[in-house]
Structure 1
Amino acid sequence: MIPAKLRDALALGLALSCGQALAAEVTIACGSVGSDVEICRKMTDEWAARSGHTVRIFVTPNSSTDQLALYRQQFGAGSGEVDVLMVDVVWPGIVKQHLVDLAPHAREARKEHFPSIIANNTVDGKLLALPWFTDAGVLYYRGDLLKKYNARVPATWNELTATARLIQDGERAAGNRDMHGFVFQGKAYEGLTCNALEWVASFGGGTIVEPDGRISINNAQAAKALDLAASWPGNIAPKNVVSFAEEEARGVFQNGNAVFMRNWSYAWVLAQRADSKVKGRIGMTVLPAGDDAGKGGRGAATLGGWNLAVSRYSKNQAAAIDLVLYLTGKDAQKKRALLVGSLPTHPALYKDADILKSAPYYGQLLDVFNAALVRPSTVTGDKYNAVSSAFWNAAQSALGARGNGTDAVRKLEKDITRVRRGAAW
């Protein structure tokens, strides 16, 4: 018979051995914009303490375009370096063969999210990602400067252009030579697709490729929108706005050197921090409408947001799936909303008293989502990236005054037709 003390020691040793064997290190790519990494580390540490696993943060490039290129490189090599990936709302159809089907593990959890986002993330019957936070383009403005110049929040893009010029010139004359009227994402990447789609759709110019597969971009309203945008760089916007992504635009605005900014909701909390030069001086609203309401012009905001997926090449799939379920759950999304102002994908949280007290503007953003634009990623499938690339290059060509809007949309129609390579997608 084994003595009791020895038996207990052996049992403890076996338990510790099994615990070590079951413990895993999960690597997550959870962004690099704003406070993404900071909040990701905080929340994954909480999961690690609960689960007994450890987490390593994999920092990705700022640009979503560069992130996708990095993921594709890793997928091509069959690399399991990253277990959990942050996936843009337009990517599930592009990288579908490289992601784990989460449907068997999220039968109840999937019911708690906005159905439209779950549908977006479901390809060929497989749930390839769970929603982490959603978003849409919004307009930030300097409320103090609008009041100073007796100007109102612009309702149209032409009104924004005129107001931006008025205040920019006035502030420069008063001594701030670095003041600009408007900053946005003008770099040749997916962010410019989001911005330019808002311009085009707000003028009634369609959504590049319509849900029925028709290539619609070659029209007078789309050309008019691009011509207006082309007047901004070097006028009301910095000349180098064509190199701006989200963080470059936020940096100029948050340092007090822009009247208006187009960005995502994440910038609100950062602009209200103690070190922000515009703390307490800003407002946020829906993006302006085009000036041709009779031709379908309206305010338009591109739907954004990010999801979490598990790589098919992960060697720690069980732990990775558990981490995804934790981070996308209602409690974790509430914490993220309170900490950084991200927009939950759980409809119930928009009625949460704590969130509404912290961010009363959530009610206004629901109106934005009701009119949000979906990029044509579903209809174009795995060709979306090529379509988007052609669109952002055409938009940047217009911004750089290399041709005009009419030439840009005519050439773009031909380029997208070549991408399609047939009568249907």
Structure 2
Amino acid sequence: MTYKELARTLPSWVFAIGMLGASLYAQAVEITITCGPSGSDVEFCLKHAQAWAAKTGNTIKNFSPPNSPTEKLALYRQLFAAKSSDIDVVQIDTVWPGLLKDHLADLKPYSQGVESQHFPAIIANNSVNGKLLGMPWYTDAGLLYYRTDLLKKYGLRVPQTWEELTQTALKVQTGERAKGDTDFHGFVFQAKAYEGLTCNAIEWVGGQGGGTVVNADGEITIRNAQAAKALNLAASWIGSISPAGVLNYEEEEARGVFQNANALFMRNWPYAWALMQKNDSLVKGKVGVAKLPGNPSAAALGGWQLGVSKYSKHPAIAADLVMYMTSAAVQKTRAIHGSYNPTLPALYKDKEVLEANEFMGALADVFANSVARPTTATGLKYPQVSQSFWNAAHEVMSKRTTGEEAVTKLESRLKQIRRKHW
């Protein structure tokens, strides 16, 4: 039967979809996706990308970028500047849509309105000048992990303030070391000079009532007594309740220490929960998750999106992969087996998701009170703003300056970056 004959026997919309599928998958192609360099992220990403490939007849290639978001962004910018077609599907951090807006394809022609099912705030974050530059893949907020057995052993509660965390961590660390565990620490987190430190430091400052680095109106607000106090308190942890090596920790270094039963508290993202439950985890069954300390608690908002490079040779097929990877079915599986936070509100009421991640039912409150990094207010200058902030925090924790001196110097630096307008 010819296509013309087939068209006369089928409803027009059925025939149109069939024609689209035939043209889309008429010739198999290789799609390159940035799943990551290693670890569970690659495992859970490639699993679903390859499932899509099996359904469509295409093939998948993993592009391994640096693990650090800062270095990953720098690499993307180099590739985009060269208009390279090496990457088709790109992982995009929450703070990047505005920075990469000239290099990402508009996904609206391919989404068929499904973006309305995701958290509106994330879709708004991913939209620039009316174009949808990324589909939400998973969302994040900073969390406090703690050893339930040790808090019970010492008769202590989950800390409500950063000062209480400091005192609790020191008490338990002293007790455990006295019993021979000399490698035990009270608190591990991300203190390397990179974007992760910006997230941590925003949480300390916000949790001490110090506001944000730059407010929604673009005003520089970091120079205040509470912000200085927050940085000074963090500096007091180094060499006390936190190892000196934490100054070079990213997420995985902190997780390694905590998962090997060498810390009481850990600040990390939700992804770490599933890894704590594996059989090789020394803290399996001994971990609790709570909102971060602070008055108010101020968790940094994070998360990742999937976008299509403008320079892809196969944008429609790449977009099809993006829509598959960000679908409700895939997000549900990733939530159950990898504790990745869905970007679809409906999945937070899903019984299987909640059974696998008991803490997810309470995350609505965490997301409602999360603190966004000042990307919207600072625009293309955000990378300079963030780098200046994390460098200031790192200098304080390295005991090269004080919190008071750091926020004063940071304010001056941010004024130089801003000049007249962001």
* TM tier relative to shorter chain: over 0.9
2:24/2:317 contact within 8 Å kept: no
Is the CA contact 2:24–2:316 (under 8 Å) kept in the aligned structure 1? Answer: no
| Residue 165 of structure 2 corresponds to residue 160 of structure 1 | yes
Mapped partners of 1:274, 1:154: distance in 2: 28
Shift of residue 207, structure 1, vs aligned partner: 1.1
Shift of 1:21: 6.0
Q: In structure 2, how many angstroms separate the alpha carbons of the residues matched to 1:386 and 1:265?
A: 27
Q: CA deviation at 1:31?
A: 2.6
Which residue number corresponds to residue 91 of structure 2? Answer: 86
Q: Residues 204-353 of structure 1: matches in 2 within 5 Å?
A: 204-289=209-294, 297-353=295-351
The CA distance in 2 between the partners of 1:18 and 1:252, in whole Å, is 51
8 Å CA contact retained: 1:265, 1:341: yes
Please list the CA deviations of residues 84-129 of structure 1 after superposition, one character each: whole Å capped at 9, or x if unmatched.
0100000000111010011222142111100000000001111110
Q: Name 1:127's counterpart in structure 2.
A: 132
Q: Aligned letter for 1:22?
A: Q
Query: What amino acid maps onto 1:321 in structure 2?
Result: A
SS at match of 2:98: coil
Q: Which amino acid aligns with 1:123?
A: V
Alpha-carbon distance in structure 1 between the residues aligned to 2:168 and 2:24: 63
Match of 1:59 among 57, 64, 75: 64
Alignment pair present for 1:191 and 2:191: no
Deviation, structure 1 residue 204? 1.1
Query: Residue 382 of structure 1: which of 380, 383, 397 is its match?
Result: 380
Provide the rounded CA distance (Å) in 2 between the counterparts of 1:382 and 1:107: 30
Structure 1 window deviating more from structure 2 (73-82 vs 87-96): it is 73-82
Higher alpha-carbon deviation: 355-364 or 110-119: 355-364
Structure-2 separation of matches of 1:224 and 1:31: 37
Partner Cα separation in structure 2 for residue 149 and residue 224 of structure 1: 28
**Counterpart contact for 1:180–1:257, Cα < 8 Å:** yes
Do residues 357 (structure 1) and 362 (structure 2) align?
no
Question: Deviations 1:13-50 (Å, cap 9, x if unpaired)?
Answer: xxxx9998621100000234640001111101110111
Q: Secondary structure at the match of 1:97?
A: coil
Counterpart CA distance in 2 for 1:139 and 1:360 is 15
- The answer to whether structure 1 residue 372 and structure 2 residue 370 are counterparts is yes
Q: Matches of 1:113 and 1:281 in 2, distance apart?
A: 33
CA distance in 2, matches of 1:155, 1:359: 22
Give the distance between the partners of 1:26 and 1:205, measured in 2 at CA. Answer: 45
* Paired AA for residue 383 in structure 1: K
Q: In the alignment, what sits opposite 2:410?
A: 412
In structure 1, runs of 5+ residues without a counterpart are 1-16, 290-296
Match of 1:398 in 2: 396
Q: What CA distance in whole angstroms lies between the structure 2 residues aligned with 1:32 and 1:112? A: 30
What is the distance in 1 between the residues matched to 2:35 and 2:224?
Answer: 39
Distance in 1, Cα, partners of 2:316 & 2:166: 52
Query: How far apart, CA to CA, are the structure 2 residues paired with 1:322 and 1:68?
Result: 24
- Provide the rounded CA distance (Å) in 2 between the counterparts of 1:225 and 1:120: 28
Question: Structure 2 unaligned runs (5+)?
Answer: 1-21
Q: Give per-residue Cα distances to partners, 1:387-423, cap 9 Å, x unaligned.
A: 000000000001101110000000000111111121x
- Residue 294 of structure 1: aligned partner: none
- 1:360 positional shift: 2.2
Q: Distance in 2 between matches of 1:135 and 1:240?
A: 25
What is the CA–CA distance in structure 2 between the aligned matches of 1:152 and 1:78, rounded to whole Å? Answer: 54
Contact 1:33 1:247 in 2 (8 A): no
The farther-off stretch of 81-90 and 60-69 is 60-69
Q: Does the Cα contact within 8 Å between 1:92 and 1:123 map onto a contact in 2?
A: yes
- Is the Cα contact below 8 Å between 2:348 and 2:360 reproduced in 1? yes
SS in structure 1 at match of 2:84: coil
Instruction: Tell me the secondary structure at the aligned position of residue 390 of structure 1.
Output: helix
* Segments ≥4 residues shifted beyond 3 Å: 17-21
Question: Which amino acid letter does the alignment assign opposite residue 419 of structure 1?
Answer: I
Q: 1:223 to 1:33 in 2, by over 3 A?
A: farther
Q: What's the secondary structure of 1:95's corresponding residue?
A: coil
Q: 1:266 to 1:34 in 2, by over 3 A?
A: farther
- Give the distance between the partners of 1:49 and 1:235, measured in 2 at CA: 52
